[in-house]
Each structure stands twice: as C-alpha cells, then as structure tokens.
Amino acid sequence: MSDLEPIKERFKFYQNRVEQAMDSWIPKIKTHPTKLHEAMRYAVLGGGKRLRPILCYATGEALNIPLKQLDGIASALELIHSYSLVHDDLPAMDDDDLRRGKPSCHIEFDEATAILAGDALQALAFYIVTHDKQMQVTAETKLKMIEFLANACGSRGMAGGQAIDLESVGQTLSLMQLEDMHIHKTGALIRASIVLAAMSAKKLNEQQANQLDHFGKCIGLAFQIRDDILDEEGETEKLGKIQGGDRARNKPTYPALVGLVTAKQRANGLYEDAIQSLQNFGDKATLLRDIAAYIIQRDQ
C-alpha cells in the first residue's frame, strides 16, 4: 500500500470540484431567509473529506463518464451526508460540539436552525437531481437515482442506521449486529455514491455493475471499522472531533468488540476484497483503488 500524501493531493481536485458545484446549488447567504441559508452553507462548505463525491467521480473515471455529468449527484450525495452530520451532532443525538474542526452547526447558530438547515439540505439534494441539466441520462434513470438515494438515506438506510446506533448505546451487540448498524448508517450512502455514478454510464453490463456494487459494500464497511479504530487511537486535533467519543458514550465499536488487532485485520480483508472486485477495470480504476487504500490507512 502506498503513502497517503500523493493520494490526498489527487483528492484535492475532486474536493474543489464538488465544492464549487455545491456552492452554486445552495442559495447565497443574502437569499431570504438569510440565517437558514447561512447555516446551510456553514454546514456544507469549506471542509470535510468529500469521500462520497470523490467515490462518485472515481466511479465516473472507471467508466469513462465526463465529470461534469456527475457534479449534480456528487453534490446531492454530499448534501445528504452533511445534513446527517448536522442532525447527528445535536444534543439529543450524539451531542458533538465540534465538527470538521469547527463548532457544530447548532453551536455556531442554534438548535432550531440546525434542525431546519438539515431538513432543507435533504430537500435540496433531491431538487438537484431533478433539476440538474448536465446529467446526460433519461428521466427514467433520474427517477431510479432518486429512488435509490431516498432508500439509502431513509429508515432502511442512513436514518435507520443512526436509530440503531442510538438504541445500541450501552448494549452488547454481536458482530453481526454491529455490522448491520454500520451497513445502514454509513454503508448505504457510500454504496449509493458508486451506484448512482454507475447509473450515469451509457453502457454498463450486469457483471460490472455487480463488481462496483461489491466494491462499494466492502469499502463502506471498511470505512466504518477504520472510524472505530480512529475513535480508539486517533488524535482529536487530526480527527476534527473528540477522540474516544464513542467509547466514552458507551457505544459499541469494532475494537471494543473484537480488539484492535482483529479490527485491523477485518479492515484489511475488506480492502483486499474490494481491490479484487476491480480486477477487470484496469488502469481506469486507479482512483477507486487509491480511495480504498486511503480508507483503511487514513488518520482522520
């Protein structure tokens, strides 16, 4: 596995790209109601790993899809992810005061504004998919994208995963239950980042679609295991959030359940599996492979 710095450098191009796209989609601060739009922009712009958009663009590179056709869905995915962070950080949920190295949205503004900013960001994500003129797909495909996205962020996806997470505080989960939680909470939207991008391809055979989907499932789970490992051994400064927060809240984590060594082995195994599923994609899938490497080695 390679050093992470060159990979992070490559990511910057895509991070800037989606930043510009999202900046153009979210109403300007001066747009009425101003405080709400300010909070929406605060919650989304100027930070974040942008993993979901980068996955979206990387899938596009693997399938020869012009990047401008993916700006809309990359934005929509990151808006959904950002809204979930705003709501997860609320005092009634994870009660996190720090996010992406800045005060959380409800600290910078107030709880009510944070709730509404999250709500409005979700609506905006769906609006973008309907409204974007750059996507060269049929109306039927756009509908399939919205359907997949709505499912991935709803009660049987991301929101459901956060509900399972909250219910599991103080509980002893089996490994299967822990993975079930992760697959819902983080995996569904990471998988959607790849699936939605693949839907934009002019031609895609079933085998390729399945291989990409499998890649998405593997790295989605690996991402969350790495998150748990970082929560255990990372530094607060690098994480941009409080280290050890999950353990302190008595939340079940991979290392708590199987130990750090086994958790790292599991993450590596998922990485190998993910790389294996890209074997037919050649050099075009280099960025996807780099993302997989980044996911299990990252320190933030």
Q: According to the binding rule CB under 8 A, does residue 36 interact with a copy of itself?
A: yes
Residue among 233, 240, 274 at smallest CA distance from 256? 233
The piece of 134-142, 195-203, 271-279, 286-294 that touches a copy of itself (CB under 8 A) is 134-142
Least Cβ distance, residue 77 to a copy of itself (angstroms): 13
Closer Cβ to a copy of itself, 26 or 51, answer by number:
26
Near a copy of itself by CB under 8 A: residue from 12, 68, 156, 238 = 156
* Beta carbon nearer to a copy of itself, 76 or 291: 76
**Binding test (CB under 8 A) with a copy of itself, winner from 21, 22, 40, 293:** 40
Q: Does 264 bind a copy of itself (CB under 8 A)?
A: no
Q: Out of 59, 162, 186, 211, point to the residue binding a copy of itself (CB under 8 A).
A: 162
105 binds a copy of itself (CB under 8 A): no
**x/- track of binding to a copy of itself for residues 171-200 (CB under 8 A):** -------------x----------------
**Closest distance between a copy of itself and the C-beta of residue 278, in Å?**
30
Please give the distance of CA 168 from its chain centroid, rounded to a whole number.
22
69 belongs to the binding site for a copy of itself (CB under 8 A) = no
Give the residue with the Cβ less far from a copy of itself, 39 or 197.
39
Is residue 85 a contact residue for a copy of itself (CB under 8 A)?
Answer: no
Backbone φ, ψ for residue 99 (5° rounding): -150, 130
Distance CA 148, CA 189 (A): 10
Our finding on whether 97 is near a copy of itself (CB under 8 A) is no
**Site residues for a copy of itself per CB under 8 A:** 27, 31-33, 35-37, 40, 83-84, 87, 90, 92-93, 110-113, 115-116, 118-120, 122-124, 126-127, 130-131, 138-140, 142-144, 146-147, 150-151, 153-157, 159-160, 162-164, 166-167, 184
